[in-house]
Amino acid sequence: MNVPEALHAIAATGDGYCWYCDRSLPGAGQEAVQEGWDVQRLPGERVASIILVCPACQREKRELGEEGFLRNLSLRVCNSTC
Ligand SMILES: [Zn+2]
């Protein structure tokens, strides 16, 4: 998959959000590419879905590992909503 191309396409729709933290994708595809947003493919039951990952979440995921990241994320979401 061509990430910059996908970012441009999603930015053009105006409603891209980080899969993990709901941060919104910059309105301009170029900006999203420069900030380091990533597009990943999640295998689904019938169709693969495409998710956006913001630069902050990518960094955390790299530092904490998948499991630690998800645990940390649920704590963070909980703290901000309850
Ligand atoms: Zn994020």
Question: 10-32, pLDDT tens digit by residue?
Answer: 999 988 999 999 999 998 999 99
State the distance from the centre of ligand 1 to the C-alpha of 27, rounded, in angstroms: 16
State the distance from the centre of ligand 1 to the C-alpha of 20, rounded, in angstroms: 5
Q: Which of 12, 78, 3 is nearest to 37 (CA)?
A: 3
State the distance from the centre of ligand 1 to the C-alpha of 54, rounded, in angstroms: 4
Burial class (CB in 10 A: 0-12, 13-18, 19+), 44: exposed
State the distance from the centre of ligand 1 to the C-alpha of 45, rounded, in angstroms: 24
The answer to whether 61 touches 69, Cβ cutoff 8 Å, is: yes
pTM of the model: 0.80
State the distance from the centre of ligand 1 to the C-alpha of 38, rounded, in angstroms: 10
Name the pLDDT band for 47 (thresholds 50, 70, 90): confident
